[in-house]
Structure 1
Amino acid sequence: MAMGTLPHALVIPYPAQGHVIPLMELSHCLLDHGFMITFVNTEFNHSRMVASLQKTGGDNERIRLVAIPDGLAPGEDRNEVGKLCDSALSFMPSALEELIGRIDKSNDGNITCVIADASMAWALEVGRKMGIRGAALWPASVGLLAQIFNIPKLIEDSIIDANGYPSKHQMIKLSPTMPMMNTEHLSWLCINDNNVQQSLFRYANHINRALESADWLLCNSFHEIEQSAFELVPNILPIGPLLAGRRLGRLEGNFWREDSTCLSWLDKQPACSVIYVAFGSFTVFDQCQFQELALGLELSGHPFLWVVRPDLMDGSSDAYPDGFKERVVDRSLIVGWSPQQKVLAHPSIGCFLSHCGWNSTMEGLSNGVPFLCWPYFTDQFLNKAYISDVWKVGLGFIPDGNGIIPREEIKGKLDELLGDDGIRARSSELKEMARKQVGEGGSSLKNFNSFIEAMKLEKGWVY
């Protein structure tokens, strides 16, 4: 085997937990094929990841973690996506260009390719300016990317105006076999603030243009679950599902410390009995809804594992109903963050009460776990439509007149889901379908291998 200089990929995710994890998993896949990896977080998220590593002892020796500033002040809220998107476009490109320049002058080996989260497609433009080819990974559903790519047609058809606002409230389909979408749930309208909506719409349009700089466009999905969406984005290469957490001792990119004690607790529970409740890294509940959720879990009578981030509740450090923890102590475990992939693979899990983020959707799907869908914003409403209406592996909730999902609704849907053998059978079928894609001879694995070979041949690397 003759080998020249190792390919050196600079990998940059959008600065949010749900984007860092699939980009980190892709980085490990590249490592397995002989790449050097420099992984770029914002300074804020870099410090969080390093702190988490120090507590959990993750192995990051093979991935060089570096940081660039995000342009926001130290005290600003990084969950304010409008500000973060504006800063990403105005400040971060020059910071990334400086970083690449420093790396190329160091002894770490020149950057030979940029692999960017598609939501950070401006990084591909930076790379092209510096003579570096690039690939983009779209970490969400292809259906969402189809929505963004179809912005010009949505304007042409008067479904939205030039600023991205719907002409009227309606349900639409991008193609006859795509899920129905509510125009009020278009991804840039996910937060009820006009300034934020305009920032996100500008950012979506930028993604449209900047992805033209991508030499390869990859996605964390596979054809069988989104066939009609792939027809709308024909140049995208599915390599999913990318599943973190299956690589023992390897860095997964978590911002919070995982509480692995939940796995030994799960070992003591009956098969298919536990409700796993987790809402990702952004969802926030007010006290009323949080308490209804708690009381619904109590009312169900089932054992449950509940992930409650420190910032899950809006403005309250102790929003649990009086006496709740004492009443459910014998059949519950509440943790701050979990090793989710390992949890969903555990035989005691009966269902997943989820916000329907795409990572969670892929993880639940790949483990054959039925869903109870509680979407919060952006693509989660589309993912919920896939889960409940297209794949039919889960159910949704019906809020009351005040927009609250009451405890009785939560209990009722839990009983219905856990007693539905049809949903469980379809979940098992999709599990096998997902695993075939990344196994020997699977289409996603073939696509990934073709991508790797193309990258190596592009620069003349011979293996």
Structure 2
Amino acid sequence: MAKAHVLVLPFPAQGHVTPLMELSHRLVDHGFEVTFVNSEVYHAQVVSALPAGGAAALGGIHLASIPDGLADYEDRKNISKLIESFSRHMPGHLERLVAEIEAAGRPRVKWLVGDVNMGWSFEVAKKLGIRVASFCPASAACLAIQLKTPKLIEEGLLDGKGWPERDETFQLAPGMPPLHTSQMPWNIAGAPDGQHIIFDLITRNNKLNDLAEMVVCNSFHEAEAGAFKLFPDILPIGPLFADPQFQKPVGHFLPEDERCLKWLDAQPDGSVVYVAFGSMAIFNPRQFEELAEGLELTGRPFLWVVRPDFTADLSKAWLHEFQQRIAGMGTIVSWCSQQQVLAHCAVACFVSHCGWNSTMEGVRNGVPFLCWPYFCDQFLNRSYITNVWRTGLAVSPGSDGIVTKEELRSKVEQVIGDGGIKERARLFMDAARWCTGEGGSSLKNFTKLVNLLSE
């Protein structure tokens, strides 16, 4: 007999869609019927980015969509604007979608597995008699900081709007990553005006999270022992991955360029610098050029993911000349299957924005990091990598905020040449794989989730 019908709802951003799509594949493997709900714009991108035959590889995940309330031309990388819009428009549309699913004769939706950042959907679910499980796509430490915000305000570290009252580095509990008060998870690069909207969302979600019967996250016990001791009710079920053969689509917004995998096959083991800054980071032309020339200076083969919107106003003549110079040495793609790249034996280190998905994917494959965070929880993840796990280093921007080509070259050499970093990265890889294997803590917690959703 088929198990319950589960509605899965991510926050509308790539870093939230991917782990929830990976979880959806795992739930389908366990017999659940899954309807995966994206915003309309991202739903269209996911569908168009599916590889040939990709719809079949979805394996029974039904893709659905609801409007986020923004016009097609509006900037969805403006997170505060996106939050303001979807908080007002999506609840009514989600109700309608559930009614349409039932009117079409499909099984009644019994559970919502909702992104912890979409707490409004928990209220909609309760109103419709749907049970709720909450999923945190960020680290347990990030969720812990959000849940402890009232205490941080009470202690005078933050004001009532999330701004720092004291200029200092704090640590919530032993074993947790130290974090400076200027780098809280709700800080947005270049858009401080919108910070209060994100902070208000977090404050609301802290209360709405009580509506969930279970809270799970894409992490593993050994990576965040301090956070899980502080909040034992947050259950790690990661690092999540859809399938060992990388055949199941995980909801990418851009088509993957598979040529880079053949290029990696031709490189020596442990030689390639892999560079990717996720789906949100934007570089100005000067920083882009410094990064490009820094990669060239390393003299090492590199694979660099440059999204179409990664930088603006770059000189086409400069880019053409650069590409001619590095032909044969480096390769640039607009998007790739990062899990496959990081699992490749040719990769020596990962120059990363430290989004949590990227962090878990690097850790699961034992890849050392060079950290270059952009915003939000990425500074916290950098702190894990450099201070707690010690599986990488961080770039140091100059007084003008620019990371120079010499700084990049120097840090890449330090990361690749450090035997201790490599060894610790290997130990964390082993721990991650043990946790998700037979008898491992993440697999046991995933089984708890399956049993709950089967009730």
1:453 has 2:445 as partner? no
1:313-332 maps to which residues of 2 (within 5 A)?
A: 313-316=311-314, 318=316, 320-321=318-319, 323-332=321-330
Residue 71 (structure 1) shift: 0.8
User: For the Cα contact (< 8 Å) 1:246–1:342, is it kept in 2?
Assistant: no
Offset at residue 241 of structure 1 (A): 0.4
Q: For residue 203 of structure 2, what is the aligned residue in structure 1?
A: 205
Letter in 2 for 1:264: K
- Please identify, of 49-58 and 135-144, the stretch whose mean Cα deviation from structure 2 is larger: 49-58
SS in 1 for 2:186: helix
Q: Specify the SS of the correspondent of 1:116.
A: strand
Whether 2:39 is the aligned partner of 1:39: answer no
* C-alpha deviation, 1:105, in angstroms: 1.9
Deviations 1:325-345 (A, max 9, x none): 111111111101011100000
CA–CA distance in 1 between the matches of 2:42 and 2:350?
A: 27
**What whole-Å deviation, never above 9, does each CA across 1:280-314 have from its counterpart, x for those lacking one?**
00011000000000000000100000100000113
Q: How far did 1:438 drift?
A: 0.6
- Offset, 1:320: 4.7
Deviation at 1:395?
0.5
Structure 2 counterpart SS, 1:188? coil
Question: Residues of 1 paired with 2:310 and 2:317: CA distance?
Answer: 10
- Match in the other structure for 1:299: 297
In the alignment, which of 24, 29, 37 is matched to residue 27 of structure 1? 24
How far, CA to CA, are the matches of 1:261 and 1:367 in structure 2? 21
Equivalent residue number for residue 7 of structure 2: 10
Distance 2:317 2:350 in 1: 22
Task: Determine the C-alpha separation between the residues in 2 that align with 1:344 and 1:10.
Answer: 30
Q: What is the one-letter code of the residue matched to 1:108?
A: R
Cα distance, 1:124 vs. partner? 1.6
Cα distance, 1:246 vs. partner? 3.1
Partners of 1:171 and 1:182 within 8 A in 2: yes
Q: What TM-score results when the alignment is normalised by the length of structure 1?
A: 0.95
Q: After the TM superposition, which residues 237-386 of structure 1 pair with which residues of structure 2 at under 5 Å, given as runs? A: 237-244=235-242, 246-316=244-314, 318=316, 320-321=318-319, 323-386=321-384
Q: TM-score, normalised by structure 2?
A: 0.97
Change (3 A) 1:12 1:56: same
How far residue 56 of structure 1 moved from its aligned partner, in angstroms, is: 7.0
Whichever residue aligns with residue 454 of structure 1, its letter is L
- Give the Cα separation in 1 of the matches to 2:418 and 2:259: 30
Stretch moving more, 117-126 or 212-221 = 117-126
5+ residue gaps, structure 2: none
CA contact (8 A) 1:169 1:183 kept: yes
Q: 1:173 — aligned with what?
A: 171
Q: Partner of 2:229 in structure 1?
A: 231
Which amino acid in the other structure matches residue 418 of structure 1? Answer: I
- What secondary structure does 1:126 align onto? helix
Distance, in Å, in 1 between the alignment partners of 2:350 and 2:53 is 25
Q: Deviations over 1:317-368 (max 9, x none)?
A: 7485562111111111110101110000001000000000000000000001
Instruction: Point out where structure 1 has 5 or more consecutive residues left out of the alignment.
Output: 459-463
Question: What amino acid maps onto 2:249 in structure 1?
Answer: L
Alignment of 1:50-65 (within 5 A): 50-53=47-50, 57-58=54-55, 59-65=57-63
- Tell me how far apart the structure 2 counterparts of residues 117 and 62 of structure 1 sit (CA, whole Å): 21
Task: State the distance in 1 between where 2:67 and 2:84 align.
Answer: 14
Instruction: Please list the CA deviations of residues 249-302 of structure 1 after superposition, one character each: whole Å capped at 9, or x if unmatched.
Output: 322100000011111111110000000000000011000000000000000100
Partner of 1:78: 76
Q: Which residue of structure 1 aligns with residue 181 of structure 2?
A: 183
Q: Does 1:114 align with 2:122?
A: no
Q: Are 2:212 and 1:214 aligned?
A: yes
Match of 2:133 in 1: 135
CA deviation digits over 1:2-58, x for unaligned, max 9?
A: x3x531000011100010000000000000110011110000101111111266745
Q: Is the 8 A contact 1:245 1:339 kept in 2?
A: no
In 2, the alpha carbon distance for the partners of 1:424 and 1:61 equals 37
In the alignment, does 2:162 pair up with 1:164? yes
Partner AA of 2:236 in structure 1: P
Percent identity, aligned pairs only? Answer: 47
- Amino acid paired to 2:296: E
Check 1:242–1:61 CA distance in 2 against 1; reply closer, same or farther (3 A cut). closer
Contact 2:365 2:429 in 1 (8 A): yes
Specify the SS of the correspondent of 1:350. Answer: strand
Post-superposition shift, 1:377?
0.3
Q: Distance in 2 between matches of 1:376 and 1:78?
A: 17
TM-aligned CA distance change 1:225 to 1:61, over 3 Å: closer
Secondary structure, aligned partner of 2:74: coil
Q: CA 1:375–1:248 in structure 2 vs 1: closer, same or farther (change >3 Å)?
A: closer
Measured against aligned partners, the alpha-carbon deviations of 1:128-172 in whole angstroms (never above 9, x if no partner) come to 111110111101101100110011001101111111111132211
**Structure 1: how far apart are the matches of 2:210 and 2:147?**
11
When structure 1 is superposed on structure 2, of 398-407 and 173-182 the one drifting more is: 173-182
- Corresponding residue SS for 2:327: helix
Deviation of the 1:115 alpha carbon: 0.6
- Report the AA paired with residue 152 of structure 1: P
Shift of residue 455, structure 1, vs aligned partner: 2.1
Runs of 4+ in 1 over 6 A off after TM superposition: none
User: Quick one: which amino acid aligns to residue 130 of structure 1?
Assistant: L
Shift in alpha-carbon separation, 1:299–1:145, aligned structure 2, 3 A? same
1:11, 1:116 within 8 Å by CA — same for their partners in 2? yes
Cα deviation for residue 194 of structure 1 reads: 4.0
CA RMSD of aligned residues (A): 1.5
Task: Assess if the C-alpha contact under 8 Å between 1:287 and 1:313 holds in 2.
Answer: yes
Contact 1:246–1:341, Cα closer than 8 Å, also in 2: no
Shift of the alpha carbon at 1:106?
A: 1.7
CA contact (8 A) 2:362 2:368 kept: yes
Partners of 2:315 and 2:6 in 1: how far apart?
A: 42
Which residue identity is paired with 1:366? R
* 1:121 CA displacement: 2.1
Q: Give, as a single letter, the amino acid of the residue that structure 2 aligns with 1:15.
A: P
2:203 aligned counterpart, secondary structure: helix
User: Does the CA-based 8 Å contact 1:118-1:207 persist in structure 2?
Assistant: yes
